[in-house]
Amino acid sequence: MFTLQRIITTMFFAVALAGTPSSAQAQDAPKAQQYLYVLRVAPALHDQARWTQADNDAVSRHFTRLADGVKAGKVIFAGKTTEPLDTTFGLVVFEAESEAAARQFMESDPAVVAGVMSATLHPYVLALQRKP
C-alpha cells in the first residue's frame, strides 16, 4: 500500500529522471504547465431535489466545455467520484500558460460561475500514465 509520502517521492524522481530541457528548448516560448482543479457541489445542492433547471443547465455547459477542452488538447482528463453529493468531488487536469490563466479557466467554468460547484486550483505534474 502506497503512502502519500511514497507517492510524492516517486513522482519527484520520475520528473527528475525526465531530464532538463536543452538550451534550445529553454529559449522557446514558455511551455504550458499542468494544473488540477477540484470541484465540490455547493452545500445547498447536496439534496438532488433542490436542483433547479438552471443548475442542471450549468452542469451541462460545464460538461460541454470540458469535452471541448479535451478535443482542443487543453484538458488532459476530467471526472468525478460516484459518492453521494455531500462527499463527491470532481477533478479536472489541464494545461495553461500560467497560474493566472489556469485560475481564469477554472473560475470561468459554468458550474463555478453558476454557484453549483466550488473549485480549488493546484499546480500538478502528471508523472505516470498507462497506455490506452
Has residue 8 been placed in a domain?
no
Give the pLDDT of the chain (132 residues) as one tens digit per residue: 444 444 444 444 444 444 444 444 445 666 889 999 999 999 999 999 999 999 999 999 999 999 999 999 999 999 999 999 999 999 999 999 999 999 999 999 999 999 999 999 999 999 998 998
CATH number, domain of 111, equals: 3.30.70.1060
Domain carrying residue 102: 29-124
Has residue 59 been placed in a domain?
yes
Pick from 118, 116, 124: nearest CA to 96? 124
The grid cell for 5 is 509520502
Has residue 65 been placed in a domain?
yes
Has residue 24 been placed in a domain?
no
The 75-80 sheet, strands edge to edge: 75-80, 90-96, 33-41, 117-124
SS3 letters for 70-95? HHCCCEEEEEECCCCCCCCCEEEEEE
Grid-cell match 443548475, residue found = 55
**What is the domain count for the chain?**
1
Has residue 48 been placed in a domain?
yes
